[in-house]
Structure 1
Amino acid sequence: MSVSEEHLAGHRVRQAVLAGGPAPATAESPRPVIEASWTRLLRRGLDPGSDPVVPPLAASELERRRAESRLGPLVAHLRDALRPAVESTGQLMVVTDPEGRVLWRDGQAGVRRLADRLGFVGGSAWTEGNVGTNAIGTCLVLGEPVQIHGAEHYVESHTRWGCAAAPVHDPWTGRVLGVVDVSGPTRGMHPTALTMVQLAARVAELEVRQEHRAELDLLRAHAAPLVARLGGRALVVDRHGHLAAATGMSAPERVTLPDGLGVGKVWLPTLGAATAEALPGGWLLRLEQEDASVVGAALLTVDLSRPAAQVTVQGVSGGWHHTLTPRHTEILVALATHPAGRSAAELAADLFADPTRVVTVRAEMSRLRRTLGPLLRRQPYRIDEAVRVELVLPPDRSALLAGSSAPVVTALRAATPAPLDR
């Protein structure tokens, strides 16, 4: 099949499937990752024939985000790593923040002008919910590298464009720092573009990991003599909760710290009551009781009314709150709205419209259990029956988790307003 024939066949598939029918008998069905993305967007109500316009950030806000981005110091390295996939093929290198906002673009004038016509400019939000299926937005949904070819785009005006993107994770915290992307006219896409963005993202993650290790080593050297003089149970953690030193106990490798941790009394879901003392680059936590259990906690609240969702645990010994990642927010929404529990396949359908993505679900549940510990149960995945659960929703349901295209969130946006607690 020639390139032009393949292009036409892709468009026929796209038109048929997005109109609600099967793929033509003479053509292959969409790849599962594409079909799942289209399903999410059809449920969300995005018009594939629309010409999405997403106002970019103001120049001052764009500069602020660039200055705060952990990827800023790495942009030059990313540019060097991706130069073969950009310069020789007339493509564009893009680096975004965790919200899919374009922070940096690099490429020849011609491809920049083409990107401008699509609204693919500095400060624009290139998420699935805003512009449909695309490598940046879809890889943010899935948390893994994605390549999108021509007619695999959901929005008609993007179907002559190709893109390959990979998320950059902070290996220390698990949070997404941003996305590295190569985009441009489909005819010019480098055959190894996806591999190259994966390697570039991996190099960036290794740089971040090395930076964290150096910080932890400094904290460990500072804390060692202090811990040696302590009695009782205590541990020293960095600002992300990673263990630097401990005495009198078998300590976890990482403790999830509450938001706004300050000097004084603190309660931790997996450790119990403690006293926090500030150290350069971290915290000394002196544990005050043996019973670290949170079973019997009275209330777990997921506050969805704020831009970054927050979970609060109010237990018999104290309270604790922590800002959630977007993925963990979606999982807790699914578990809160299905109190009997969800299998890994059901959660995959809730999050991705794809019940086969059980490996991703299990990895995310493992990370979430490190935060909430015994509050979460398995087989099926659920919130402990002894815990009362409350979702705090924004007054305007349509504003609920604006960056999410998860089916469970789409359903909650459309649900009849009512208190959601048990």
Structure 2
Amino acid sequence: MNTHATFDLERLAAANAGQATRVLMEMRDARIAGQRARFGPRPVIGASWDRMLANGVDPERDHRTGVLSTDEVERRRQTSPLKTILPVLREGLLSVADVAQHIMVIADADGRLLWREGNKSVLKMADGHGFDVGADWRETVVGTNGVGTSIVTRRPVQVFAAEHFVRSHHPWTCTGAPITDPRDGRLIGVVDISGPLDTMHPATLALVCSVAKLAEARLREGHLTALDRLRSVAAPLLARLDGRAVAVDAHGWTAAVTGMPPVDRITLPKSLTDGRAWLPSLGRCAVAPLPGGWLLRVEDDEAAVAATSAMTRVVVDVSGERRWSVTVSGSAGCWTHELSPRHAELLYLLGTQRAGRSAAGLAADLFGDPGRTVTVRAELSRVRRYLGGLVAHRPYRFHEEADVDLVLPDDAARLLPHSMAPAVIRARAGAGP
């Protein structure tokens, strides 16, 4: 649906929150009715509303699923990497939230609220909206909101008043930012600041983003410390070995290496055990456990070389809404690598354009700017770390001998819902990549 123009939400909300709310309500009601409003919503909100309409979320009914039991909440808390960064989140947000009549909530990657703290009066108000520990705040359950929409888009988002799809949430403003694990890029949760709509401040989004980035930096520090511990154990062992060997942590990050050029990370299968394994970047290896990781000794023989070159079939699965993967299989075996949002976009584009695409063409597809070739080349360099020679360049493409299968969602409108890439948006609309 076309609209005349978007409007400056921050400026209008700061000047007149009531008028901003009325304009947003008009836009929301028009979108639900399939009509044209004077103004259009911000792109991130409009895309979310479209997902809600496609998923059949009731805009007038506050639907809630079962709240997790106390035992399950505690189990998730204890096993979540979010636990280690709670002090950073509390220090950065709680004092501000309390003074500004807001609350801070922290949800896991499933949209389940695990922690909730802040202004006491606002906590009581939140109880009436089901905004409680253990509740499910995915978009598909409660509509557009700071937690669920951040999970889908993998980016910070502020949802003001009637930008919430479900009417009962209109008295609120929510600002959420995703938190990713620096070891593998996986989404581990969302931190959100929420409160009555008349307490909204334009700086809230910047504050939440900054604290989320600070929390990710703390996770990165912990990862480097763990690698140092592994290195202290592995270095003496490697010094006594002949041939090629490398010590990696459970996520494949390199702690120490001998007999070969150092690499930052090695792609590991999801289930690695003591014994032997074939790895895409090394070939056949002897695998032994280390405290906090693995020792990989490369078996340099003809069989290993043959195994490395035997990859023939590639399955790029982008059918899911939050998880995507590439699976490579051949006579040497089969392995699967989970894709980041950006790599899912890139491999989807390469899978649809087998003749190849230049760096400038891919930059236009991804960003609408053919000049952003440096970013494209950097990302494809990372892709080639686990796909190796299966991805050729000049132009970028899957190797001609690879049998590539692209697995898409049944409904094109659900393709890579996080993506704002122009080519993906066209494909969701049925116009092709």
1:91 and 1:189 in contact (8 A); partners too: no
Partner of 2:133: 122
Mean CA deviation greater in 169-178 or 95-104: 169-178
| 3-state SS in 2 of match to 1:180 | strand
Partner of 1:257: 268
- Tell me the amino acid that sits aligned with residue 27 of structure 2: V
CA–CA distance in structure 2, aligned partners of residues 117 and 379 of structure 1: 58
RMSD: 4.0
Q: State whether structure 2 residue 91 is matched by structure 1 residue 80.
A: yes
| 3-state SS in 1 of match to 2:297 | strand
333, 343, 351: which one aligns with 1:318? 333
242, 253, 258: which one aligns with 2:253? 242
Mean CA deviation greater in 111-120 or 144-153: 111-120
Q: State whether structure 2 residue 375 is matched by structure 1 residue 375.
A: no
Deviations for 1:129-167, whole angstroms, at most 9, x for unmatched residues? 322222222222222222121122222222221111111
Partner of 1:14: 28
Q: State whether structure 2 residue 215 is matched by structure 1 residue 200.
A: no
Distance 1:369 1:62, change over 3 A: farther
45, 48, 57: which one aligns with 1:37? 48
97, 105, 108: which one aligns with 2:116? 105
Q: Tell which has more relative contact order, 1 or 2 (C-alpha 8 A, sep 6+).
A: 1
Partner of 2:17: 3
Mean CA deviation greater in 61-70 or 83-92: 83-92
Deviations for 1:92-113, whole angstroms, at most 9, x for unmatched residues? 1011112221111112333223
2:185 and 2:340 in contact (8 A); partners too: no
CA–CA distance in structure 2, aligned partners of residues 200 and 315 of structure 1: 45
- Tell me the amino acid that sits aligned with residue 212 of structure 1: H
Normalising by structure 1, what TM-score?
0.80
Partner of 1:166: 177
Q: State whether structure 2 residue 241 is matched by structure 1 residue 230.
A: yes
Per-residue deviation at 1:297?
1.7
CA–CA distance in structure 1, aligned partners of residues 385 and 127 of structure 2: 43
Unmatched runs of 5 consecutive residues or more in structure 2? 1-14
| 3-state SS in 1 of match to 2:311 | coil
CA–CA distance in structure 2, aligned partners of residues 56 and 355 of structure 1: 42
CA–CA distance in structure 2, aligned partners of residues 382 and 53 of structure 1: 45
Distance 1:358 1:4, change over 3 A: farther
CA–CA distance in structure 1, aligned partners of residues 180 and 255 of structure 2: 22
CA–CA distance in structure 2, aligned partners of residues 259 and 105 of structure 1: 33
2:307 and 2:332 in contact (8 A); partners too: no
1:235 and 1:243 in contact (8 A); partners too: yes
CA–CA distance in structure 1, aligned partners of residues 328 and 363 of structure 2: 27
Deviations for 1:382-422, whole angstroms, at most 9, x for unmatched residues? 6544333457899xx79xx9996779999999x9xxxxxxx
Distance 1:213 1:184, change over 3 A: same
Partner of 1:90: 101
| 3-state SS in 1 of match to 2:287 | strand
Q: State whether structure 2 residue 277 is matched by structure 1 residue 283.
A: no
Normalising by structure 2, what TM-score?
0.78
200, 205, 216: which one aligns with 1:189? 200
Corresponding residue pairs, total: 404
Structure 1 residues 48-63: aligned runs within 5 Å: 48-63=59-74
Mean CA deviation greater in 250-259 or 328-337: 328-337
Per-residue deviation at 1:76?
3.3
CA–CA distance in structure 1, aligned partners of residues 370 and 386 of structure 2: 22
Percent of residue pairs bearing the same amino acid type? 43
Partner of 2:37: 23
Deviations for 1:38-83, whole angstroms, at most 9, x for unmatched residues? 2333334434334232322233222111110111132233122102
